[in-house]
Amino acid sequence: MKIKVLTIFPEMLSGYLSSSVIGRALDAGLFSVELIDIRPYSQNKHKNTDDYPFGGGAGMVMLAQPIVDAAQAHASGRERRIYLSPRGRTLNQRIVEELAQEEELMLLCGHYEGVDERALQLCFPEELSIGDYVLTGGELAALAVIDSVARLIPGVLGSSESSEDESFTTGLLEYPQYTRPREFRGMEVPEVLINGNHALINRWRREQALRITRERRPELLETASLTAEDLAYLRSLESH
């Protein structure tokens, strides 16, 4: 997977991308991210990338010209092109899985009041949102897309941090996790996790996931795939 990101603030992404799991995966060549600074593509004598909005109103609008030229200069013709915006489809794990199948992505990060609509019509027909709130720029949203997609690429997560049995893959919220020490501020780690009976541990974790999902996101139980044992456990909770 090759991801190109068009931005006027490449430094907003570089620190995150060179750190931790994503940094190691990029170093290992498991996928690539190319940060493309839009500003050098500006034909304006001051290399401006924005201007006042036609029709008036607050703030500035990003110019179509530098965005379209930057996109065209880096186009392979194969990439899925996405503008990060609160107007887009809301990202979820199903969409992340779909994006992870793509060979190439090109992400556009807007700033200020947004981007001249014509740049979107010409080059970025698809819009994605990471949730119903407004950011000062699309960079944080682009990072959320890159991070969530990258961790599905084989080898990005270590074998001990597999994405298979986690929330949104099982369709349930995650069970509680504990590490050392066994007692912290008078609070003990559940005994079942210490005994080392893996069948019991798996059943306990499954029940905790079911309990937490029922408490916090009961609607997820409608679509999770549940065994007869799961349903029996959920019924046992109804009397409480």
Binding residues for S-adenosyl-L-methionine are 110, 130-135
Minimum separation from the CB atom of position 190 to ligand 4GO (A)? 38
Q: Which of 130, 202, 217 is nearest to 165 (CA)?
A: 202
| Pair type for strands 80-90 and 126-129 | parallel
Structure tokens at 104: 């190439």
CA–CA distance, 141 with 110 (Å, rounded to integer): 10
Q: Which is nearer to ligand 4GO, 119 or 172 (CB)?
A: 119
Q: Which is nearer to ligand 4GO, 37 or 207 (CB)?
A: 37
Q: Which is nearer to ligand 4GO, 53 or 86 (CB)?
A: 86
Structure tokens at 72: 């065209």
Minimum separation from the CB atom of position 111 to ligand 4GO (A)? 5
Minimum separation from the CB atom of position 58 to ligand 4GO (A)? 12
Minimum separation from the CB atom of position 136 to ligand 4GO (A)? 6
| SS3 category, 184 | strand
Q: Which is nearer to ligand 4GO, 137 or 171 (CB)?
A: 137
Report the amino acid identity of residue 183. E
E-only strand ranges, the chain? 2-7, 32-37, 50-51, 61-62, 80-90, 104-108, 126-129, 183-184, 187-188
Positions touching ligand 4GO (CB under 6 A) are 84-86, 110-112, 114, 129-131, 133-135, 137-138, 141
